[in-house]
Amino acid sequence: MEHTLFRISVFDGDKIIGMARMIGDMGLDYYIKDVVVIPQYQGRGIGRMMINELLDFIKHNGIDGTGIFVELCAAPDKVPFYEKLGFDYNDARRMKMMCAAEK
């Protein structure tokens, strides 16, 4: 996808079974935007592998010697998955809106 900083696709043969993508500033702030594994393939370590690849990208491309902020938004039933990977959450309520591009 255009403007995605880094993305991963996982295939079983020629069938895509998972994808993850991230946006960020190539420095101090990264946002994991999408992590999707089709239901039949969940529970096999694919999501963990994709998150680890995203984090490796950050570790090798972030600014040395700094704390790098990595953020994502998880559906409530997916929070335990991300907690196992070291993510934590706070009580902040995320604000959102949809905005149409005008070209």
Summarised one tens digit per residue, pLDDT across range 22-80 is 999 888 899 999 999 999 999 999 999 999 999 999 999 888 888 898 999 888 899 99
Q: What is the rounded distance in angstroms from the CA atom of residue 74 to the CA atom of residue 33?
A: 10
Domain of residue 76 covers 6-84
Give me the CATH number covering residue 50. Answer: 3.40.630.30
> Over 90: is that where the pLDDT of 94 sits?
no
When divided into structural domains, the chain yields a total of 1
> Over 90: is that where the pLDDT of 96 sits?
no
Position 45 in a domain: yes
- What's the sign of the alpha-carbon dihedral 15, 21, 75, 80? positive
Q: Quick check: helix, strand or coil at residue 68?
A: coil
Position 15 in a domain: yes
Q: What average pLDDT does the segment 78-87 reach?
A: 93
Position 68 in a domain: yes
The pLDDT assigned to 32 comes to: 95
The pLDDT assigned to 93 comes to: 75
Question: CA nearest 16: which of 40, 32, 43, 33?
Answer: 40
Q: Count CA within 13 A, CB hemisphere, residue 4.
A: 14
Position 13 in a domain: yes
- What's the sign of the alpha-carbon dihedral 43, 46, 49, 53? negative
Backbone phi and psi for residue 78, each to the nearest 5 degrees, phi listed first: -100, -5
